[in-house]
Amino acid sequence: MNPAAHDSGSRRISQVHCLYYWANKTPNSVYLTQPFNDGTVVNYTWQQTLDEVQRMASYLLSLKLPENSHIAILGKNSAHWIMSDLAIWMAGYISVPLYPTLSGETAQYILEHSEVKLMFIGKLDGKSDTWLDVKEVISTDLPCITLPMAPEFRGQERDKSWQDIVTNTTPVNAMKLPDPDSLATLIYTSGSTGKPKGVMHDFRTLVHVAHNMEDQFGLTAEDRLLSYLPMAHCLERVIIETVSLHTGCHIFFADSLDTFVADLGRARPTMFISVPRLWMKFQSGINDKIPPTLQKILFSLPILGKFLRGRILQQLGLDQVRLAVTGSAPLPPAVISWYQSLGLDLLEGYGMTENAAYSHLNPTGANRLGTVGKPLNEVICRLSDEGEVQLKGPGTMLGYYKEPEKTAETMTADGYLKTGDLGEIDSDGYLKLTGRIKDIFKTSKGKYIAPVPIELKLGESLSIEMVCVGGGILPQPIALVILDEEVQKSLHKSGDRSALETEFEALLKKVNNTLESHEKLAFIVIMKEPWTMQNGLLTPTMKIQRQKVEDTYVDEFEKWKKQNRKIVWV
């Protein structure tokens, strides 16, 4: 173990320094809790984690890869995903995470663009991910290491397994620790506006952000986190991986969608960050058991209401949460209000890969619905003359890998990141996002439409899971809607559309009454086929691929219009 890494100040240098620090200070404390497919659960202490990481780093060094080589990690979240990342850094290399839901074409592009020299293959099943496509584009010349729970790929003759390597490799204790200003990782964007871009972050940036999070929210080694959002996403990389390493938090992992509730119950997280889709699914599940009208009555009863609210949070596994955050896409204020009624102060935040997911968050106890809150520590926010949100802060990227022109386009001359988001800042400094500059479209009448505010209004309906406002070739915009999963099941079972059609006609009228004449929706289209990552209509971070949705259905727009109906079923 490196004695230089034992003092608390060294934790601010790199994630590897943090690992040494906690392995020395609390070697027998559990750091990672991993459920396996067979139902077993394995705990890894800080000392065990360091030992495996050192052994793997020693093996990587024995391969004599070129200096600063790029090494990819493909797989769902797991204890060994984080260990792989740490081993790459400990050996002096640069990690390149890949989403487990990437198309084969996109995965091939990233592997070639980043020039990876080796690849870790982790937990994948070929069903809930795109492994069957991706494995076909992995070069036969690219050496791979399989992690626990990895699928069978090329066999032991071609690929080494993590377990074999750590069993047969002696750890090298005197490792050269990372330079804080050296490149740590390339985090590729989800590619919602073209080919993914490799965002470069150094160690100092990621650890600085984690340190600020620790200070601002009082995070300690006693906190518990559940890791389930993609590790390839900057948010999970900073808020789960780096924050846990910096503060000594205990990380629990989720095994699958089927076991998620049990995994959440095991973790009882004290900080929980999720995306709008999951927050809405939680609410929908409770509403199916206790109708909203009955909830209002029961919640108003002093003793029973308090017991019921606590019971609901306990069933969701959120009863120990003291910091709850939603981000990635707007969450309807009505949903946030519902969680507040349960006693959970759900805070909406904002960040990007380009600023290490560190920008804005609503303050605890001063949550202003409809906004993404105030700038976090050391973040400066301003609006351009066009209303674009521009940011400067400790999480700002080094730039885009191999793309200096795009880097220059994204940064202002005085060092602000141009986000591409439109916004408004109120007198108290709260930021309200009003849409993406590139999302604004023009109708055939020549009128400009900002879709996001309209989508938020529609999204307050509990019957809607996803919505996309478009229709640029038509005189008036239209809304394409994916129904809530439980609503779909109920509709399939009964076969009766009349009640739902009446509900959506009322919703259309209500929303249109709040819009300018050129913004009023001509009709709502209830889609039959889901939007998924597999069919390319969602990004790996669950954002709607707006242009792809438009392109997929544009030939149908005129046909739908000719039906002359307020609600169109497809």
- Mean pLDDT on 136-162: 91
Query: Does residue 539 register a pLDDT over 90?
Result: no
399 has which bridge partners? 200
Q: Do domains 270-436 and 440-569 have the same CATH topology?
A: no
211 Cβ contact partners less than 8 Å away, ≥ 6 residues apart: 11, 12, 246
- Residue 264 banded pLDDT, cuts 50, 70, 90: very high
What six digits make up the tokens of 277?
Answer: 């889709």
- Between 534 and 293, the higher pLDDT residue: 293
Average pLDDT over residues 469-474: 90
Q: Where does the pLDDT of residue 275 fall: very low under 50, low under 70, confident under 90, or very high at 90 and above? A: confident
For residue 347, pLDDT over 90 is answered with: yes
Q: What is the pLDDT of residues 55-112, one digit of tens each?
A: 999 999 999 999 999 999 999 999 999 999 999 999 999 999 999 999 899 999 999 9
Give the least confident one: 53-57, 326-330, 396-400, 431-435. 326-330
Lowest mean pLDDT: which of 168-177, 356-365, 421-430? 168-177
Please state, in angstroms and rounded to a whole number, the distance separating the CA atoms of residues 191 and 77.
21
Residue 5 is predicted with a pLDDT of: 56
| 568 pLDDT more than 90 | yes
User: What pLDDT is attached to residue 540?
Assistant: 74
CATH of domain 270-436: 3.40.50.12780
pLDDT of residue 183: 97
Give the HSE-up count for residue 316: Cα atoms under 13 Å, Cβ half-sphere.
Answer: 27
> Distance (Å, rounded) from C-alpha 14 to C-alpha 498?
59
Structure tokens at 462: 């509990």
The structure tokens 């839901």 sit at 101
pLDDT at 157 over 70: yes
468 SS3 class? strand
Strands 567-569 and 70-74: unpaired
Rounded to an integer, what distance in angstroms lies between the CA atom of residue 265 and that of residue 374?
31
Q: Which CATH architecture has domain 3-8+21-178+223-245?
A: 3-Layer(aba) Sandwich (3.40)
Percentage of the chain with pLDDT > 90? 72
3-state SS track over 341-404: HHCCCEEEEECCHHHCCCCEECCCCCCCCCCCCEECCCCEEEECCCCEEEEECCCCCCEECCCH
Q: Mean pLDDT throughout 521-530? A: 93
CB 134 within 8 A of CB 150: no
- Domain definitions of the chain by residue range: 3-8+21-178+223-245, 270-436, 440-569
Give the whole-angstrom CA distance, residue 304 versus residue 308. Answer: 6
- The pLDDT assigned to 485 comes to 85
Distances in Å between the Cα of 17 and the Cα atoms of 33, 175, 305 are 21, 11, 48
pLDDT at 495 over 90: no
Does residue 174 have a pLDDT over 80? no
Q: pTM value?
A: 0.87
Residue 400's closest CA among 207, 203, 208, 113?
113
Residue 3 has pLDDT above 60, yes or no: no
Could you give the 3-state DSSP secondary structure of residue 453? Answer: helix
Band (494; pLDDT cuts 50, 70, 90) = confident
Nearest to 377 by CA among 393, 398, 396: 393
- Which of 6-20, 211-225, 298-312, 464-478 shows the lowest mean pLDDT across its residues? 6-20
Residues in the chain, how many? 570
Averaged pLDDT of the chain: 92
CATH of domain 440-569: 3.30.300.30
Burial string for 500-535 (b: 16+ CB within 10 Å, else e) reads bbeebeebbeebbeeeeeebebbbbbbbeeebebee
- pLDDT at 194 (0 to 100): 65
Strand partners, 224: 250
**E strand or H helix at 45:** strand 41-45
Does position 154 have pLDDT exceeding 60, yes or no?
yes
**Bridge pairing between strands 198-202 and 183-188:** antiparallel
